[in-house]
Amino acid sequence: MARPRQSLLTRQRIVEAASALVDREGLEAVSVRRLATELGVRGPSLYNHFSTKAEILDAVADAIVAQVDVSAFATHDWREALRLWAHSYHAALSAHPNIVPVLAHGPGRRPATLAMADTVYGALIKAGWSEARATHIGALMRYLITGSALGSFALGFSGDPQLYEQYPHLHRAHLLAGQHKCVDDGAFALGLDTLLNGLDSLLLKNGPNR
């Protein structure tokens, strides 16, 4: 078979297969040949639909960002909208942690990510933040959201108790892995609430035109 009458591949089928593979086995398991095999074709076939492997992974990342709920910006004040959006973003990345390194470097040319950035920035400006502050807040949200999604804090500690013997305060660090969901989500919520409360005071103190 050289060319079937109906194309075997579409961009969408490739993105779905890549997304599933990333979720199932991690970013490192994704090779062009491997992905092609899962789709029933040979490696080079994918280059008829995407020009590089990076472009495929970008599309996977953007599909996940597209699921983030930004509707709160139309219905709530900036503070509550930011909180709801951040939790939705956090949840989307928690469901697909392996893709995070791909989107951690910014929106690039990914349309859904650019649209989300546009909505968030627009809402902050409308709320009275200066351009500089709105940019800072956008950056801060990305730091917190991708920083927390990039890898569990709790799972970053080995479960091997021996490892911590020489560290006086870490003698219970090996237990962190067992509670990682609680630790990581608690830290994220604490950080988000603390930040939003502090920013709110800042805006009130300096007036709506700061």
33 contacts DNA (rule: CB under 7 A)? yes
The CB-of-117 to a second copy minimum distance in angstroms stands at 7
Cβ nearer to a second copy, comparing 19 with 146: 146
Q: Give residues 41-70 in contact with DNA (rule: CB under 7 A).
A: 41-45, 47-49, 51-54
Evaluate whether 116 touches 146 at the Cβ level (below 8 Å): no
Cβ nearer to a second copy, comparing 18 with 90: 90
Q: Can you tell me which of 3, 5, 24, 169 binds a second copy, judged by CB under 8 A?
A: 169
Measured CA to CA, the distance from residue 195 to residue 14 in angstroms comes to 39
Evaluate whether 36 touches 45 at the Cβ level (below 8 Å): yes
Output the six-digit token pair for 159.
């479960």
x-or-dash string of contact with a second copy, 97-116, rule CB under 8 A: ----x--xxxxxx----xx-
Evaluate whether 54 touches 38 at the Cβ level (below 8 Å): no
Binding region for a second copy (CB under 8 A) out of 11-19, 48-56, 63-71, 184-192: 184-192
The string of DSSP codes covering 2-53 is: ---SS-S--HHHHHHHHHHHHHHH-GGG--HHHHHHHTTS-GGGGGGT-SSH
Q: How far apart are the first and last CA of the chain?
A: 65
Q: Residue 167: CA atoms inside 13 Å, Cβ hemisphere, count?
A: 11
5 is in the binding site of which of a second copy, DNA, none (Cβ under 5 to 8 A by kind)?
Answer: none
Residues that bind a second copy (CB under 8 A): 101, 104-109, 114-115, 117-119, 121-122, 125, 131-133, 135-140, 142-148, 150-158, 163-164, 167-170, 172-173, 176, 183-184, 186-188, 190-191, 194-195, 197-199, 202
